[in-house]
A and B are shown apart, each in its own frame.
Chain A
Amino acid sequence: MSQSELTMSTGHEVLMESSPYGMEKKKLGMWIFIVSDACTFATFLFGYGYMRVGSQNWGTPFEFSSILNGIIMTFVLLSSSLSMLAAVRATQAGQKASANKWLGLTMLLGTVFAILHLREWFKMIGEGWRLFYNPLGGAAQFGACFFSVTGLHLTHVISGVIALAFIARGYNQGRYDSSHVETAGLYWHFVDLVWMFVFPLMYLMNAAR
C-alpha cells in the first residue's frame, strides 16, 4: 500500500502527503537516530585521534593474539548482519519459524561478540591497563581512548541484543510485524558498520610493530 493511504492516529481515515522517502515513521525515526548516533561515535573517535596525534609516546600494544581476537570478533559481527538480513527476509515472507531461527542466531552472534570483547577487556585489565594508566609506559590516554570507544560500541551491541530479544518476543506474540524487525535491523547494521571504523582505528593502527 502507498504512504498516502496510511491512517493517522485519530482513528479515522486521513489522506496524507506522501513521505519524500516513501518511508513510514518508525523506520525514518531510526535513520534519524542513526545520523545522530554516528555524530556521537565520530566525536569519540575524533577525541581519540586528537589524543593520538598530540601524543609523543603513543604505544602500539596489540600483539598478534589480540589482533586475531579482533578479526574473529569482526567475523562474528559481520555474520550477525547477514543473519539479521535473513531474519528480515523471513519476517517479510511471513515465515515465522525461519524468522525465529535467524533472529536467535543474530542474538547468539551478538552475545559471542560481547563475550569475546569482554574477555579482551578483562585480559587487559589483568595486565594493568586502566582508564588512566598504561602499564607499558606509553601515553596514559591509550586506556582512556580504548575503553571509552570500545565501551560505547559494546554498550550498543549489548543494548541491540536486548532490543532484539524484545522485538522477537513481540513478533512471536503478534504485537510486532516485519517492519519492526526491519527497523531493529537498521540499528543492528549501523552498530556493525561502526565496528568497521573502530576495528581498524583501535586495533589495526595499534598493532605491535
Chain B
Amino acid sequence: MHDMTAHAAAHHAPPQGFIRKYVFSVDHKVIGIQYTALGLVSAFIGMALSWAMRIHLAWPTASIPFLGTLSPNGAPGGVPTPEYYLSLMTMHGTIMAFFLLTAAPMAGFGNFMLPIHVGAADMAFPRLNMASFWVTFVGFVLACATFFIPDGPPLSGWTAYAPLSAVGAVAGPGQGWGQNLWGLSIALFCVASLLGALNFIVTTIDLRTKGMTLSRLPLATWAWFINAWVSLLAFAVLLPTCLLLVLDRLGGTSFFIPGGLVINDKMLPHSGGSPLLFQHLFWFFGHPEVYIIILPAFGIVAHVMPTFTRKPLVGGWKVITYAMAAIGGLSFVVWGHHMFVSGMSPYMAMVFSVPTLIITIPSVIAVLVFAFSLYGANMRFTTPMLFCLGFISLFISGGIGGFFLAQPAVDSYLHATSFVVGHFHFTMGLSAVFAAFAGFYYWFPKMWGRMMNETLGKIHFWLSFVLVYCVFMTLHLMGLTGSVRRYSQFVADFMVPLTPTNRFITIAALLLGATQFIFFYNVIWSRFKGPKAADNPWQATTLEWDTTSPPPFDNFGGRQMTVYHGPMEYDGDAFVMQTSTEKSIAGT
C-alpha cells in the first residue's frame, strides 16, 4: 500500500534563481547538458594531451608549446621525459575513457533524453541525479589537479596496473600523490556512475507513461537501460578495487604487492600480495567498461538511423535489443583476454578466448542489423546519418582487429603493440565518439532549440572520417611491425625506418584535432545564430519530438502522453508518431 503523500514529496516546481536553475539543478535536462559539456571539456583536454604525445613520438627533440610551463620538471624546455610521456598517456586514457566516453553518451544524452523518451517529467531521483553529476565533477577536478602538484600525474596508465600503482612514490614521479589523487578521483567516478545507473534503471522500469510498454521503448533508451545494469555491476567492482589499492598505498597492506620486491635499490616491506589479483579485479570491471562505452553508441545509432533511412531496422526492436543484452551479459565473462601474457595460466587463456569469440556474435549481429537496414532505404544524408555510417565503418574495421587479438597465440605477438592501440581506438574510442557526434547533431535542435549548420557538419564528418583512418589504421600497421606502445621514443635501430610513418600519423592526428575546431565553431555559432528549430525537424516519431524545442521544465507542458506505437513507424516520407492514434504503417 502506498501513500500519495510519499509521492508528493518527489514533486518539484520550476526553480528560481541562477544557481538552482543552471548550477545545482535537479532538472535532468540541465544535468544532461552539464554532463555533455564536461564531456566536451574532457575531449579537448584529452585531445591536447594526445597532440603532445604524438609530437614527441614524431620529433623526439622538439619543444612542445606550454608543456615546459606546465611542468618544468616533467618536460624541461618543453621536451617531455620518458616518465612525463607516460603521465601524459595516463591522463589521456583516464580523461578520455572515464570523463568523455563513459560520461557523455550515457550520462549526457541519457540524462537529457531518457525521461522524455519514457514520457516522464524527470528522473526517478532528481536529487540523486544532481549528486551524481557533482561527484563526477569533483572526480574530474581531482584528476586534472594531478597536473599541478609537484610530482605531476601518475604514470601507470588508465589501467593503473599493480605493483607499479600500489607501491607509492618510490616507483617514480607521479606515483606518490599523483596516484593517490587518481585513485580518489576514480573512486568518486565509480560512486557517481553507480548512482546514475540506479537512477536510469528505476526511471526506465517505474516511470513509463501509459502505453509505453517495453517493446515500444526507443532503442537508445533500451541501450541506456541495459548499459545501466552493466555499469551497476562493473563499477561496484572497480570501487572496492580502488579502495584496496588505496589501502596498499596508504594503509601498508599487501593485496597487490608481492614479497621481495626491490625498486630503485630499496627492498619493499611487503609480502604475499598478487599483481594478478589486481588485473583480475580491474579487468572484471574493465572489459564491461568498454561495452559500457559502446552500448550507448549502439543505442544512439539504432535510434538515429531509422529516422534517416525512413524504415524500421531489420529485425524490428527485438534483434538489436537482444543483441545488446547478450553483449551486456557476456561482457562479464571475457575479462581474461586482457591478460593472455600476464602470467595467468595458459589454460585460462584458452578458457577466456572462447567467450571472447562468442561475444563477437551479438556484436556482429548488431552491426549487420545496421548495415542491412541500409538496403532499400530512402536515405537522407544529413550529418547525423553520415556519422552513423561512419560508426558502422569504424566499428567493423576495429572489430576485425578483435578477431586477431582474441586468439592467445596471435595476441602474444600483438600484445602491447600499437596494433592494440589502433584496435581499441577504433572500437571503443572513435566508434563511440562518432555515435556521440551523431547524437549531438541529431539532438542539438531539441537541446538548444536551434539547428546546426549542415555544411560545416558535413565538412567536419568527411575530414574526421578520412583522418581517423589515416591515424588509427596506420597504427595497426605499425603494431604489426612490432612497434611497442608506451615507448616515448623510437630510437632503437629497427624502429628508425618507421619514423616517416610515425610523422605521417602525427600530422594526421594534428589535422584531426584541428578539424574538431570546425565542430566547436559550429556548436557556438549554431547555439546563438542557428535557425530556430521546429518541434520535429527530422520528422521523427519518438516522444522528445512531441514537445517544444527545447522542452519545458516538466517536458510536456502538463500534457498526458499516451503511447500507441513503437519507435520505428517509418515508411518513406510517411511516419507515425509514437503518441499518434493513427494506424501503424510499419507494423511495429
Contact = CB atoms under 8 A, between A and B. Distances in A.
Interface of A: 1, 3-4, 6-12, 14-17, 19-21, 23-26, 28-29, 32-33, 35-40, 42-44, 46-47, 50-51, 54-55, 92, 130-132, 139-141, 143-144, 148, 152, 175-180
A143 B211 CA distance: 56
The 3 closest A-B pairs by CB, nearest first: A39-B236, A132-B252, A144-B253
Given A140-B254, A177-B3, A12 B558 contact: yes
B125 A141 contact: no
Interface string B321-345: 0000000000000000000000000
B209 interface: yes
A54 B212 CA distance: 52
B533 to A, nearest CB: 24
Contacts of A35: 232-233
Contacts of B3: 177-179
A35 B231 CA distance: 12
Nearest to A46: B281
B560 A15 contact: yes
Given A19-B205, A51-B272, A132-B251, A1 B241 contact: no
Contact of A141 (B6, B12, B254): B254
B232 A16 contact: no
A180 B6 contact: yes
Contact of A16 (B9, B209, B237, B270): B209
Given A51-B272, A132-B254, A40 B209 contact: no
Nearest to B200: A32
B4 interface: yes
Contacts of B214: 20
Contacts of A50: 274, 277, 280
Interface string B252-288: 1111000000000000011111100100110000000
Contact of A24 (B126, B206, B255, B271): B206
Contact of A29 (B12, B202, B251, B254): B202
Contacts of A8: 7, 120-121, 207
A1 B558 CA distance: 23
Given A17-B211, A51-B272, 9 more contacts: A11-B13, A14-B121, A15-B562, A16-B210, A20-B214, A36-B232, A50-B280, A132-B270, A140-B272
B423 interface: no
A138 B17 CA distance: 62
Contacts of B239: 40
Contacts of B206: 3, 19, 23-25, 28
A170 B18 CA distance: 31
Contacts, number: 166
Interface string B556-585: 001010100000000000000000000000
B6 A36 contact: no
14 contacts: A6-B7, A7-B7, A14-B209, A17-B209, A17-B213, A19-B205, A21-B205, A35-B232, A40-B237, A50-B277, A51-B277, A140-B254, A144-B255, A177-B6
Residue among A47, A131, A139, A180 with max Cβ neighbours from chain B (10 Å)? A47
B202 A25 contact: yes
Contacts of A1: 1-2
B274 A43 contact: no
Given A23-B206, A140-B254, A9 B247 contact: no
Residue among A51, A144, A178 with max Cβ neighbours from chain B (10 Å)? A144
B244 A54 contact: no
Interface residues of B, number: 64
Interface of B: 1-13, 120-122, 124-126, 194, 197-199, 201-202, 205-214, 232-233, 235-237, 239-241, 243-244, 247, 251-255, 269-274, 277, 280-281, 554, 558, 560, 562
A25 B244 contact: no
Contacts of A140: 254, 271-272
A11 B11 contact: yes
A130 B213 CA distance: 55
A40 B270 CA distance: 25
Contact of A9 (B12, B208, B255, B271): B12
Contact of A47 (B197, B272, B277): B277
Nearest to B118: A17
A148 B244 contact: yes
Nearest to A138: B272
Contacts of A17: 208-213
Contacts of B270: 132
Contacts of A132: 251-254, 269-270
Contacts of B198: 29, 32-33, 36
Contacts of A152: 240
A179 B6 contact: yes
A7 B4 contact: yes
A141 B274 CA distance: 11
A47 to B, nearest CB: 6
Contact of A148 (B126, B207, B247): B247
A16 B207 contact: yes
A168 to B, nearest CB: 16
A16 B208 contact: yes
Contacts of A32: 197-198, 201-202, 232
A152 B240 CA distance: 10
B251 A47 contact: no
A4 B206 CA distance: 10
B122 A9 contact: yes
Contacts of B8: 7
B236 A92 contact: no
Contact of A36 (B11, B236, B243, B269): B236
A88 B207 CA distance: 26
Given A8-B120, A17-B209, A25-B125, A54 B240 contact: no
